[in-house]
Amino acid sequence: MTVLHLADEGEAADLAAFLSRLLRYDRGAAVRLQAAGTALAVFGRPPSFEVLAIRAVRLAKPYENGLDVSLDVTVSAGELLEGVDETAVTAVVPAAVTGPPWAGVLPPRGGWRPEPGLPAPDALRTLVGAAVAEFRRRTEELAPERRNRAELDRIGREIWSRTVGGTGLPVRAVHAAQSLGFLRPAATTAPRQTDPQAAQPAGLFSSGAWLRLRTPYGSVAVRRSGLGGLDLSVR
């Protein structure tokens, strides 16, 4: 049994919250865990948004039972959530599962460079709110005979595929960040992250075919359209 010793109760609570949000969109969700030393990255893919979500977690110490160098495994998000003990500040890693296709293709580890043009977090939250309101208005205006799944999906794709200004970042990535708790108002509890840039404000970065919306609470990565299979990191 592999036991992760988390840095503090806040890390345990944040990990549990992230897993709970993923399970809200997919009860059978899997997550890929990658860790070395006292840094843990948790990757998930909420199906409604077609993005990769990354939550960084600080560990108090490496692992028990001989795993003292690294950890790389895909597990059930629900079983991992059941193994989180906020009082003991630990998480039991469940047995590995056969990972979904996305778990084998992750964003690059490095080579990220900043991209200009990302609005401030409050403007991003306003953008998501306006997109949600537009979707509701347009679907409510549909005639009954046209209110079917295909038409709803068409409207959703049109709205969520729009880009944020000239950044190339699709609005669905911002919506995902908002839904997963990554775009919290500044008045919320200070973030606890392993990323050395976590104390900095939200930013947009690119590496090859990938764009990454990074916030102090987590990141959302998405493939840029039209770039084919460039710069994939398969591991």
- What is the helix (H) or strand (E) element at residue 158, kind and residue range? helix 149-160
Sign for the pseudo-dihedral over CA of 199, 203, 208, 210: positive
Model-level pTM? 0.85
Indicate if 122 and 186 belong to the same structural domain: yes
Taking only the tens place, the pLDDT of each residue in 139-149 is 999 999 999 99
Task: Please say which residue of 105, 130, 149 terminates a domain.
Answer: 105
Same domain, yes or no: 206 and 140: yes
**Is 11 in the same domain as 27?**
yes
Provide the domain limits for residue 148. Answer: 113-234
pLDDT tens per residue across span 24-74: 999 999 999 998 788 899 999 998 888 999 999 999 986 555 555 678 999
Are β-strands 2-6 and 113-115 bridged in parallel, bridged antiparallel, or unpaired? unpaired
Tens of pLDDT along 85-107? 999 999 999 999 998 999 998 99
CB under 8 Å to 21, separation ≥6 — which residues?
46, 179, 180, 181
Same-domain status, 156 and 211: yes
Domain count, the chain: 2
| Domain C-terminal end among 72, 105, 138 | 105
For residues 201 and 133, state if they share a domain: yes
